[in-house]
C-alpha cells in the first residue's frame, strides 16, 4: 500500500516556522507555502514534536513552546508515534553511526521515512543527505 505522506517535517523547520529570529524563518515560510500549493501531505514524529518544544523553550521560553504544541493540536498535524519497534530500529541505526554528535531524533526520522516510504524531509540538516542518503526539501 503506498504511503500518503510525501514530506516528513523535522524540528529545525518547525523552529524556523515559529521563531522569527531563526536564520531559516523566511525560507521556511516560503517552503511551507510551496508545499501547501503543491498539496503535499506532511507528517512528523512524536520525537520531533518533543524536540521542537524543547528547542523553542530554550530559544524563547515556555510561551512559544506552548504555542507550538497548541498549533500542532489545532491543525491537527499528522504525527507518527515512535513505538517500541521504531525505537529499536532507531537504536540500531544510531549504534551503526561513527560521526560524533549523531542525533537519535535524526535516526528516528530516517527509520520512519524508510518504514513508511516517505520520500523527502523538510530539514536544513545536511546529515540527512550526507549520512543517510535522504532527499531534503530545503
* pLDDT per residue as tens digits for the range 95-127: 999 999 999 999 999 999 999 999 999 999 999
3-state secondary structure of 135: strand
Partners of 79 in the β-ladder: 44
Provide long-range contacts, Cβ within 8 A and 24+ apart, for 87-92.
89/115
- Residue 27 has which C-alpha cell? 525560507
Q: What is the pLDDT of residue 2?
A: 53
Question: Please, which pLDDT band fits residue 75 given cuts at 50, 70 and 90?
Answer: confident
The pLDDT mean for the chain works out to: 95
What pLDDT score does 1 carry? 39
pLDDT, tens digit, 9 for 90 and up, residues 1-31:
357 999 999 999 999 999 999 999 999 999 9
2, with CB counted inside 10 A (0-12, 13-18, 19+), is exposed
Is the pLDDT confidence value at 137 over 60? yes
Q: How far is CA 49 from CA 2, 55, 98, in A?
A: 25, 10, 26
Report the C-alpha gap between 94 and 19 in whole angstroms. Answer: 29
37-51, pLDDT tens digit by residue? Answer: 999 999 999 999 999
> Which three cell numbers mark 115?
518504514
**Which domains does the chain carry?**
7-136 (3.40.50.1010)
Supply the pLDDT for residue 22: 95
Strands 7-9 and 120-122, sheet pairing: parallel
pLDDT at 54: 98
Torsion of CA 97, 103, 104, 107, to 10 degrees: -60
So what's the pLDDT on residue 125? 95
Amino acid at each position: 500500500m503506498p504511503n500518503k505522506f510525501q514530506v516528513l517535517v523535522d524540528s529545525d523547520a518547525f523552529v524556523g516556522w515559529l521563531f522569527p529570529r531563526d536564520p531559516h524563518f523566511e525560507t521556511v515560510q516560503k517552503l511551507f507555502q510551496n508545499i501547501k500549493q503543491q498539496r503535499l501531505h506532511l507528517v512528523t514524529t512524536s520525537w520531533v514534536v518533543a524536540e521542537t518544544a524543547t528547542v523553542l523553550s530554550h530559544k524563547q521560553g515556555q510561551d512559544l513552546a506552548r504555542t507550538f504544541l497548541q498549533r500542532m493540536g489545532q491543525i491537527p498535524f499528522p504525527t507518527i508515534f515512535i513505538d517500541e519497534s521504531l525505537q529499536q530500529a532507531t537504536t540500531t541505526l544510531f549504534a551503526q553511526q561513527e560521526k560524533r554528535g549523531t542525533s537519535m531524533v535524526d535516526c528516528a526520522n530516517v527509520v520512519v521515512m524508510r518504514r513508511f516510504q516517505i520520500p523527502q524531509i523538510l530539514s536544513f540538516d545536511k546529515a540527512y543527505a550526507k549520512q543517510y542518503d535522504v532527499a531534503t526539501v530545503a
